[in-house]
Chains A and B, each alone.
Chain A
Amino acid sequence: MHYGHALTFGTFLTPSARDPGQVVSLATRAEELGFDLVTIQDHPYQPAHLDAWTLLTWLAGRTRRVTLAPGVLNLPLRAPAVLAGAAASLDRLSGGRLALALGAGAFWKAIGAMGGRTLSPGESVAALSEAIDLIRARWDVTGEGPVRLHGEHYHVDGAARGPAPAHDVPLWLGAAKPRMLRLLGEKADGWVVTHQLLRPGQLAQGNRRIDEAAVAAGRDPREIRRLLNVSGDFLGGPGEKWVEELLPLVVDDGVGTFILMTDDAETLERFAGEVAPALREAVERELPGAFRRPLRRAAVRARRREGIAYDDLPETLADTTIEPGDVGYAEVRSTYLRGGAPGLVLRPGTEEEVAEALAFARAHPHLPLSLRSGGHGISGRSTNDGGIVLDVSRLDSIDVVDPARRRVHIGPGARWMDVAAALAPHGLALTSGDYGGVGVGGLATAGGLGFLARKHGLTIDHLRAVRMVLADGSVVRASDHENPDLFWAVRGAGANFGIVTSFEFEADEVGDVGWAQLVFDASDTAGLLHRWGAAQEAAPRDVTSFLLVSPPRRGRPPMAHLMAMVDTADPETILDRLRPLAEIGPLYDQSVVLTSYASVMANASPDAHDGRGEPVTRSAFAEHITPEFAADAERLIRGGAVYFFQIRSVGGAVADVPPDATAYAHRSANFSVTTFGVDRRRVDAAWDRLAEHVDGLYLSFETDTRPERLADAFPPATLRRLRELKAAYDPDNVFRDNFNITPSTTKEPTHA
């Protein structure tokens, strides 16, 4: 009888208040020795003990790897709704290392003396059952409405959900009697029991009771880990004797965790050295290949989507993958601007894992596959409904490999604000976008229209090489010398060709910069747009500014918000450069500071994405802001179809690169124009009227899916070459998420 749980080892330490340093050093020693778990008994009425929760949290700050658990927590003296929040906090602070082991209570006289409620054994089990429901409900941030539970023992009416813990915190119960074992089978994830207190045969009997209750509740008994507190000493005896005694408990009774009850460092050392490894070996000999990752709870499995072979996930990805019933799901389902409900979010942490994740996704060709780095994509669909998301946010390293040559290697999951912060100490910067929360992967394969564009070019112009995983799972490097075709395609159409796992950039030397935010009355919208365009085109390359015009609202005129960066630390030059920009209209407000690129980029909210619905945006490039274009733009802005209208200046160094040098071809444009609206048809109709003034589009800012947009994104020669390369690198069209370039060898899609 076994339940398929990999064997783990823990300690059970006495939280002695007399010498607090001792229990702390035993816990850290246990971690060094390779123990997987540290448990601390909880008797809040016991003055010789430290409070278990406080101590566990302290230990979380002094350890890095071990799981921490009370052994077990005395529920009657802890309010479950508050405990749920405390557990979520501890799990988050510790990086997902909490297991919440609960007990129904014992020593009722002592509990009563503390002001706690005295319950009968039956009542205490019922109270624990309510508490479990309450705790799980507070953690379930995807559930509907606030938490309500009108129980016999706990009454919660409208408590907010959340915070969710960092991982699916297992709920273990200390249990011995039938009622508790039944509850455990119905609701818990682990059974904690002390070997010394069991009669022969009682372990098997307890397992049977738990398993029956689990099955009756529609669960799989393998969801429940069996943890056994064991004690004893070596008394000069050899470790083999321990192995001999413990082995049948694993093989016959399904114990998955042994928790060694000792406060003796030497016993811990000998157990770790002589017993644990030998027992693992013996178990592997007796039950070869029996141990796999633990099953997710039935309640989690119930939220799985159809058509995904969840149980076939490779071991390496299983721990980090998030599925709809998991606690982390709320934070990964949606993106910045788009709501989603993917069936599986794969979060590989290495290049090999990216290849494995891709292979898993390719085994599901009927499902949407979304690629996600920072989750800011407007055009790229980095979430979906019922499909697979391949999220590379864990590949977020930023290494300045050669400061003298300004060479920087960056993972696709890093965010631009973190890149800016990491480069700043070296006097370096990489132009990116206007928001620090954007991920590197999406932006650095599309273009990158940032605040240093006119001086230093696009983000992709700083790319010297990439490593990427192709559709067939192979890993290649692409640069001007290796796979130059691929390197050409990646710089402007990367999402169609593979998953970049590392970008090799050459950064720019950038010191302090001038940063201005000017607010104008834009009543004369067309005039202001035209004057800004002229001033910006006439400006030296060290000035890049973005103009955001918001439509009139409730009696207030249209407003224009200008953000300008001047790449110099000289205050005189900064003011010289800004003067013509400040004269484009009546100023409402202004601020100019000398700051760092990193400070400007540090503007993103730390919250998880929580987008809803679908963004409606359009994008185009313009050579100049002619009076005619400005007049039509004013009509668009005042027409009510759009709520956001932004023009970014480009040109300058961007135009130094020939249009055929990269897949991004819009080199002659001086401006990139973007709008957001609510209603697809209204926005399209209003935007299409600008057609005569504009040309092309910026891949990342366009959500129109009409087929002719592809021709706007890529001029004919570029598109032809991209289709040929697509046929070579991704003939099955695995990467179709962002402006799909269909392979030239496959048939054009037939029109229905």
Chain B
Amino acid sequence: MPDYGHDLLFGTFVTPSVSPAHHAVDLAVTADRAGLDLVTFQDHPYQPRFHDTWTLLSYVASRTERIHLSGNVLSLPLRQPAVLARSAASLDLLSGGRVELGLGAGAFWDAIDAMGGRRLSPAQAVAALEEAIAIMRQLWAADRPGGVHVKGDYYTADGAKRGPAPAHDIGIWVGAYKPRMLALTGRAADGWLPSLPYLPGGPSDLADLNARIDEAATSAGRSPSDVRRLLNLNGRFSDTSTSLLNGPPDQWAEELAGLTLEHGITGFVLATDDEYATELFASEVAPATRELVAAERRG
């Protein structure tokens, strides 16, 4: 039974709409005040209806107190990895250790290409992501000697100075579904961040995907529990239960606790732009889920 034993995180996935400018900020502040652990934004720099996600994350960080923040996920092909690493460290320092780095290998290649980004095949994009992760980790390791040296096929750092070190160990979370990306997640990432609606078989798909990550982690000499498993969710609160995550909060709690205990999911990120749903997720679902999981783990 793959419960990797992490504490549970509850967060939201908020649309980074550019108009009204503070729409996403206000929802993030709601999530922060409601006591959620995490607020995340998708990143599509070619989409004029959305804010630039790094800028939005930085602004939201300055307007919130406790909540952690992450891209969900950042589009690596349009972000320079060494600059991104230093930006992430900077925001982590400014925010008192509240930044996590959700990363994607890239999608929507036509749009990336139209913006002047480099078009890569899926295999190339995975390799590029792994190089980028290596650069970022080296750059954050400020106390190690020498400069950053990664000579990759897609990204190179040749003697860049290390630092600043972030305020805490920034988690690199990867959105992955296919074997190559899952293997990379197991080898190199701190977290896995898929979306439930993208799993054709629903939650039961998680078993196989988890197994691939576990295997890759183990063969890289890591422990499967080095990779936190998070999950983007869609759902609806209603009085009567109709389907998965469509019903009252106590139904949600049972279903989420099931995902933790059966599939090791310990980060639940709800896609919502609704204040009420955000508050309900924080005030009812999160504590009830935590209680159920704690009871079972005490077992």
Contacts and interface: CB of A to CB of B under 8 A. Distances in A.
Interface of A: 15, 17, 20, 24, 44-51, 53-55, 57-62, 77-82, 85-86, 88-90, 92-93, 95, 110, 112-116, 141, 146, 154-163, 166, 606-608
Contacts of B162: 47
A55 B90 contact: yes
Q: What 10 pairs across the A-B complex have the smallest Cβ distances?
A: A61-B62, A162-B48, A47-B163, A57-B58, A17-B164, A86-B52, A92-B21, A50-B90, A158-B114, A51-B90
Contact of B113 (A85, A93, A157, A161): A157
B224 interface: no
Given A78-B80, A82-B79, A606-B19, A58 B94 contact: yes
A93 B51 contact: yes
B266 to A, nearest CB: 28
Nearest to A76: B80
Interface stretch (B81-89, B181-189, B194-202, B205-213): B81-89
Nearest to A151: B116
Contact of B55 (A50, A93, A156, A606): A93
Given A45-B161, A57-B55, A81 B23 contact: no
A54 B81 CA distance: 15
Contact of A55 (B94, B115, B116): B94
B117 to A, nearest CB: 7
B25 A156 contact: no
Given A60-B59, A115-B82, A115-B156, A607 B161 contact: no
Nearest to B78: A82
B78 A115 contact: no
B245 interface: no
A93 B89 CA distance: 22
Contacts of B221: none
B59 A57 contact: yes
B163 A17 contact: yes
30 contacts: A15-B90, A44-B83, A45-B160, A47-B164, A50-B90, A50-B93, A51-B83, A53-B54, A57-B58, A58-B61, A58-B62, A61-B59, A61-B62, A61-B63, A80-B116, A81-B116, A88-B18, A92-B18, A93-B22, A93-B59, A113-B159, A113-B161, A114-B80, A114-B160, A156-B115, A157-B114, A158-B114, A160-B114, A163-B18, A163-B51
A155 to B, nearest CB: 6
A44 B161 CA distance: 10
Given A48-B163, A51-B83, A89 B94 contact: no
A17 B90 CA distance: 7
A607 B63 CA distance: 24
Contact of A77 (B21, B47, B80, B142): B80
Contacts of B114: 146, 156-160
B155 interface: yes
Nearest to A19: B93
A114 B82 contact: yes
A85 B78 CA distance: 12
B101 interface: no
B126 interface: no
Contact of A113 (B49, B54, B83, B158): B158
Given A58-B58, A155-B116, A93 B94 contact: no
Contact of B80 (A86, A89, A116, A157): A116
B56 interface: yes
Contacts of B94: 20, 24, 50, 54-55, 58
Contact of A81 (B18, B54, B93, B115): B115
A421 to B, nearest CB: 12
Given A44-B86, A113-B147, A166-B21, A154 B116 contact: yes
B27 interface: no
B91 interface: yes
Contacts of B86: 44, 47, 51
Nearest to B63: A61
B135 interface: yes
Interface in B142-182: 142, 147-148, 155-164
Given A53-B54, A77-B80, A141-B48, 17 more contacts: A17-B89, A17-B90, A24-B94, A44-B82, A51-B87, A58-B59, A79-B117, A82-B45, A88-B18, A93-B51, A113-B157, A113-B160, A146-B114, A159-B114, A159-B116, A162-B49, A166-B21
B4 interface: no
Interface string B48-82: 11011011101111110000000000000011111
A130 to B, nearest CB: 10
Contact of A85 (B52, B58, B156): B52
Contacts of B135: 115
Contacts of A60: 59, 62
Nearest to B17: A606
A606 B79 CA distance: 29
B251 to A, nearest CB: 21
B62 A48 contact: no
B299 interface: no
Interface string B206-243: 00000000000000000000000000000000000000
B163 A89 contact: no
B150 to A, nearest CB: 9
B116 A156 contact: yes
Nearest to B93: A20
A53 B117 CA distance: 20
A62 B62 CA distance: 7
A478 to B, nearest CB: 34
Contacts of A158: 114
Nearest to A109: B159
Contacts of B63: 61
A517 to B, nearest CB: 17
Contacts of A59: 62
Contacts of A78: 80, 83
Contacts of A48: 163-164
A159 B52 contact: no
A146 B111 CA distance: 11
A163 B52 CA distance: 9
B93 A89 contact: no
A329 to B, nearest CB: 15
A116 B83 CA distance: 10
Q: Which of B22, B25, B86, B156 has the most CB of A within 10 A?
A: B86
B83 A46 contact: no
Nearest to B161: A47
B142 A160 contact: no
Contacts of B87: 51, 53-54
A51 B86 CA distance: 6
B164 A85 contact: no
A166 B51 CA distance: 12
A607 B147 CA distance: 48
Given A82-B45, A115-B156, A54 B54 contact: yes
Q: Which of B62, B78, B81, B87 has the most CB of A within 10 A?
A: B62
B6 to A, nearest CB: 28
Contacts of A46: 161
Contact of B21 (A62, A93, A141): A93
Q: Which of A24, A115, A116, A161 has the most CB of B within 10 A?
A: A115
Contacts of A81: 45, 115-116
Contacts of B21: 92-93, 95, 166
